[in-house]
Amino acid sequence: MTLEQALVEHFKERNLSAATVRNYQYHMDNYLARLRRRSVADITCSR
């Protein structure tokens, strides 16, 4: 499952306000774009 897929699933499972969904999407688009298509299992801390 990619990070983007995980976020979509999170949206489906939770009753989030429209503002929260926009905020999460903003962060995905602006800060996590490099990771959005990467498998969640492959995302690690880099030092």
Q: Which pLDDT tens digit goes with each residue over 1-47? A: 999 999 999 999 999 999 999 999 999 999 999 999 999 999 988 76
Would you say residue 9 lies in a domain? Answer: yes
In a domain, 47, yes or no: no
Q: Give the pLDDT of residue 47.
A: 60
Domain count, the chain: 1
Q: Is residue 26 part of a domain?
A: yes
At 46 the pLDDT is 76
User: DSSP label at 46?
Assistant: -
Distance CA 8, CA 10 (A): 5
pLDDT in the model for residue 45: 86
Domain that holds residue 37: 3-42
- Residue 27's SS3 state is helix
Cα 38 → chain centroid: 11
pTM, full prediction: 0.81
Is residue 23 in some structural domain? Answer: yes
DSSP code of residue 2: B
